[in-house]
Amino acid sequence: MTALLSVRDLDARHGLLPAVRDVSFEVAEGETVALVGANGAGKTTLLRTIAGAHRPSGGSVSFDGRDVTRVRAHARVGLGIALVPEGRKLFPQLTVEENLLVARRPRENGWNLERVLEAFPLLQPLRTRIAATLSGGEQQATAIGRALMTNPRLLLLDEVSLGLAPVAVDAVYRSLQTLIESGATMVLVEQDLARALAAADRVICMLEGRVVLTGTSSELSREEITGAYFGLHGVAQ
């Protein structure tokens, strides 16, 4: 089975500062992969590079067998990659409904406005509210819904629990669980290790731009991951 997403020897930098170094991994269709690591480990840059929002300085990204390294972000959405960016990044002056509709990419039996609102019932009374007035949890739901409106084959989620109250995070993860169970392919960046391990099939740990540990969530112990997270035992690949 060929992987849906294939990242090879990827390098990305911010100016002169390397953020992603020589990263390679694959994601198969239907898998949920958790990307963990301390702040500054390169997780956000990696997701943005996969989504096309950041240009890599080396290496390649392939999606469904096709090299998309030089493809612009909006075209990658057309191919089926969707990113829920760090900090939600809703369009502040548009309403919830408009935020969702902007991303609309209709597909037979796929996601549309009604289905997204069914999946996130808390948004139903908020349809005509301006996005900038929403709470963190409501914004997160809208952001995920917006990504779903593009009918993606690969969903990239960057720190969906950031800045949210625990209750709100629970709600978000409940929705994500439904998505996972329906067979979605996801790469999830998450600081909360427990949630990451619970939601994901596989875990990739990054440190200072490199992948330092990979494995299924069942075979890796918390100690191993914590060690790799902080770089305490040297690099284990």
Partner 1 sequence: MTWVNDVVQGILLGGVYALLACGLALMFGVMRIINLAHGDLAVVGAYLVLVVLDHANISPFLALVPVLPVMLIAGYGLQRIVLDRALRAGVLVPLLSTFGLSIVIQNILLEKFSPDVRSLGGQAGSIATGSWSVTNAISISQIGALIVVVAIAVLGGLQLFLSRTQAGRRMRATAQDPDTAELVGVDSRAVYARATALAVAIAAVAGLFLAIRSTFYPFAGPTQLIFAFEAVVIGGMTSLWGTLAGGMILGVAQTVGGQINTQYPVLAGHIVFLAVLALRAALGRQIS
Q: Which stretch binds partner 1 (CB under 8 A): 5-13, 66-74, 112-120, 202-210?
A: 66-74
Site string for partner 1, 176-215 (x = CB under 8 A): ----------------------------------------
Min CB(93)–partner 1 separation in Å: 6
CA distances in angstroms from 164 to 16, 40, 141, 213, listed in the order given? 33, 20, 11, 28
Comparing CB distances to partner 1, the nearer of 69 and 214 is 69
- Binding of partner 1 at residue 106 (CB under 8 A)? no
Among positions 5, 41, 103, 154, the unique one binding partner 1 when judged by CB under 8 A: 103
CA distance 231 to 22: 17
Min CB(69)–partner 1 separation in Å: 16
Among positions 67, 92, 133, 135, the unique one binding partner 1 when judged by CB under 8 A: 92
Min CB(74)–partner 1 separation in Å: 5
At position 111, the amino acid (one-letter code) is W
- Binding of partner 1 at residue 162 (CB under 8 A)? no
Among positions 20, 41, 61, 83, the unique one binding partner 1 when judged by CB under 8 A: 83
CA distances in angstroms from 100 to 38, 148, 184, listed in the order given? 31, 9, 19
Distant-in-sequence, close-in-space partners of 198: CB < 8 Å, separation ≥ 6: 217
Residues in contact with partner 1 by the rule CB under 8 A: 51-53, 72-75, 77-78, 82-83, 85, 89-94, 98-99, 101-105, 146-147, 149-150
